[in-house]
């Protein structure tokens, strides 16, 4: 697949220890499996490294996102009394945030919900911990910019573009606009959460969006969510492509 790499960015989503299985670190120490370890999550790293090296030499920007929570984040089951992992809580979206979104993006489809469902997760990716660090195998030397998300205590952020209220933006869209980027290649973790929401936002913001079929892996909680996510992304216009087919 031929692309204009001066207008393309690769986004490596959440390649962090807490989303990966156990491994031996570069310092020779054992890293336990992450608290939200994705089965074969580390298998996405080799194709992403290879692609990042190839594309950065062609002028393509390489970006990485990092889930980056305060210790008492609202998405952690441990932050709520009498709640367990997998429970769903309802969160009200602020009217101010919704109004500001529609003012800024009058043409965007997909209405912003007034209430969002938040799944409660194990404690993961706490700021400045080993769990939040990039996996040792990720070649960070090719990354031009790191976007952190989920750092506000009272709201989670799966997407690299908007927080989970679907209307509070991160800085990513503005950054890409300044670079005249119109095409995004997205891979990483997890297919059914942070990759999924990033892809759906990329499409609704009008980017041509490619998903790396050999460089994504999912949580599949609840069961079936990976297949649902893939179908929804394809139906919305995402193109699934192997990293080897991008030249
Ligand atoms: Zn998180």
The residue-averaged pLDDT of 213-238 equals 95
- At residue 228, the pLDDT reads 97
> How far, in Å, is the centroid of ligand 1 from the Cα of 125?
6
Q: Are 19 and 34 in contact (CB under 8 A)?
A: yes
> How far, in Å, is the centroid of ligand 1 from the Cα of 69?
7
Q: How far lies 143's CA from each of 125, 136, 208, in Å?
A: 19, 14, 21
**Residue 109 pLDDT greater than 70, yes or no:** no
> How far, in Å, is the centroid of ligand 1 from the Cα of 111?
23
- Residue 48, CB-side half-sphere exposure with 13 Å CA sphere: 32
The residue-averaged pLDDT of 217-240 equals 95
> How far, in Å, is the centroid of ligand 1 from the Cα of 132?
10
- At residue 40, the pLDDT reads 94
Residues with a catalytic annotation lie at 14, 149, 194
**Residue 178 pLDDT greater than 80, yes or no:** yes
Q: Are 217 and 39 in contact (CB under 8 A)?
A: yes
Which residue reads 């990354």 in tokens?
143
The residue-averaged pLDDT of 100-127 equals 85
Q: What percent of the chain has pLDDT over 90?
A: 79
Give the tens place of pLDDT for each residue, 127-151. 999 999 999 999 999 999 999 999 9
CATH architecture, domain 5-245: 3-Layer(aba) Sandwich (3.40)
- At residue 101, the pLDDT reads 82
> How far, in Å, is the centroid of ligand 1 from the Cα of 166?
15
> How far, in Å, is the centroid of ligand 1 from the Cα of 149?
8
Q: Are 156 and 41 in contact (CB under 8 A)?
A: no
What is the sign of the dihedral through the CA atoms of 198, 157, 177 and 10? negative
- At residue 110, the pLDDT reads 64
Mean pLDDT of the chain: 93
> How far, in Å, is the centroid of ligand 1 from the Cα of 211?
21
**Residue 164 pLDDT greater than 90, yes or no:** no
* Confidence class for position 205, pLDDT limits 50, 70, 90: very high
* Confidence class for position 221, pLDDT limits 50, 70, 90: confident
The CB density around residue 145, as the number of other CB atoms within 10 Å, is: 15
Q: Give per-residue burial for 166-199: e unless 16+ CB within 10 Å, then b.
A: bbbbbebbebbeeeebebbbbbbbbbbbbbbbbb
**Residue 1 pLDDT greater than 70, yes or no:** yes
Using only C-alpha atoms, what is the Rg of the chain?
Answer: 17
Looking at the DSSP bridge assignments, the partners of residue 69 are 126
- At residue 153, the pLDDT reads 93
Question: CA 141, CA 131: separation in Å to the nearest integer?
Answer: 20
pTM over 0.85: yes
Of 3, 36, 9, the closest CA to residue 20 belongs to 36
């Amino acid at each position: 697949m031929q692309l204009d790499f001066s207008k393309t960015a690769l986004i490596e989503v959440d390649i962090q220890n807490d989303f990966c299985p156990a491994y031996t670190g570069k310092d020779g120490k054992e890293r336990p499996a992450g608290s939200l370890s994705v089965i074969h999550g580390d298998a996405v790293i080799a194709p992403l490294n290879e692609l990042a090296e190839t594309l950065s030499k062609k002028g393509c920007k390489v970006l990485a996102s990092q889930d980056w929570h305060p210790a008492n984040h609202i998405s952690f089951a441990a932050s709520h009394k009498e709640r367990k992992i997998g429970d769903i809580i309802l969160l009200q979206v602020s009217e101010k945030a919704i109004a500001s979104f529609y003012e800024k993006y009058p043409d965007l489809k997909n209405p912003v919900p007034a209430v969002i469902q938040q799944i409660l997760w194990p404690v993961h990716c706490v700021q400045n911990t080993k769990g939040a660090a990039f996996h040792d195998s990720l070649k960070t030397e090719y990354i031009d910019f790191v976007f952190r998300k989920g750092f506000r205590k009272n709201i989670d952020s799966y997407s690299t573009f908007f927080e989970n209220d679907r209307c509070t933006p991160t800085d990513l869209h503005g950054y890409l606009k300044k670079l005249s980027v119109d095409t995004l290649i997205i891979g990483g973790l997890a297919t059914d959460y942070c990759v999924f929401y990033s892809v759906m936002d990329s499409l609704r913001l009008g980017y041509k969006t490619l998903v790396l079929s050999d460089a994504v892996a999912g949580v599949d909680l609840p069961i079936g969510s990976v297949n649902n996510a893939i179908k929804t992304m394809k139906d919305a216009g995402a193109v699934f492509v192997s990293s080897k087919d991008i030249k």
